[in-house]
Amino acid sequence: MINHNPQIEPAMAKELSTEERDELIKVVKARFEKNKQRHAGIDWADVQARLEAKPEKLWALQAMEDTGGEPDVVAYDASTGEYVFYDCSAESPTGRRSLCYDHDALEARKDDKPDNSAVEMAAELGIDLLTEAQYRELQTLGQFDAKTSSWLQTPPAIRQLGGALFADFRYNTVFVYHNGASSYYAARAFRGSLRV
């Protein structure tokens, strides 16, 4: 397993050993089989074949796993042949909490800076933050973030004014909110997506 450090250097070799790859595929397969409602009509053998054909994507999938995201297949894009993975942990991934939104927000903090930002960490992990539409789609597959919240990709017009979006699930409803981008909370992380 990868020992994730939030200060990963982008140039770092991002390759799994054969043992790490086999263990990751075993874990993701077990999750896939346990949560069939997330990927109706998708066959695991096809997913595994794609994972094995795209070993360069396995490091990012492992990083999602190592930071508590519990990635699972949520869609198949027939136009590209890609399987789409989202972080499907019940609550926001524990290894990605207490982050402000992006680098500018991190630099704007004078005191009590967090270790990293959601946007930078997502880039380091090789994944994308979920959009509002993707987050709402995720919530149709189960209940997520009933006690936590997750940063979302924020439109530039909102970000330029100092804000950022986050969402959660309360009262049987998905709520999308705004916050200052430099804020960070122990119960807020981010959820990511990966196309393989």
Token look-up 């994972």 returns: 51
Which residues contact residue 50 at a Cβ distance below 8 angstroms, ignoring those fewer than 6 apart? Answer: 81, 82, 83, 196
**Residues linked to residue 24 through DSSP beta bridges, in sequence order:** none
Provide the pairing of β-strand 192-195 with 82-87.
Answer: antiparallel
Give the confidence band of 13 by pLDDT, cuts at 50, 70, 90.
low
In angstroms, the CA 56 to CA 72 distance is 18
Please tell me the predicted confidence (pLDDT) of residue 10. Answer: 42
Q: Per-residue pLDDT for 2 more than 80?
A: no
Contact by Cβ (8 Å): 192, 122: yes
How is 141-180 classified by DSSP, letter by letter? TS---SS-EEE----HHHHTTTEEEEEEEETTEEEEEEEE
- For 94-195, CATH number? 3.10.100
Residue 157 burial class via C-beta count within 10 angstroms: exposed 0-12, middle 13-18, buried 19 and up: exposed
pLDDT tens digits for range 15-38: 899 999 999 999 999 999 999 999
Q: What is the mean pLDDT of residues 53-57?
A: 93
Tokens of 160: 């330029």
Please tell me the predicted confidence (pLDDT) of residue 15. Answer: 87
Residues for the chain: how many in total?
Answer: 196
In angstroms, the CA 48 to CA 22 distance is 11
Give the confidence band of 110 by pLDDT, cuts at 50, 70, 90.
confident
In angstroms, the CA 128 to CA 151 distance is 11
Domain ranges in the chain are 18-87, 94-195
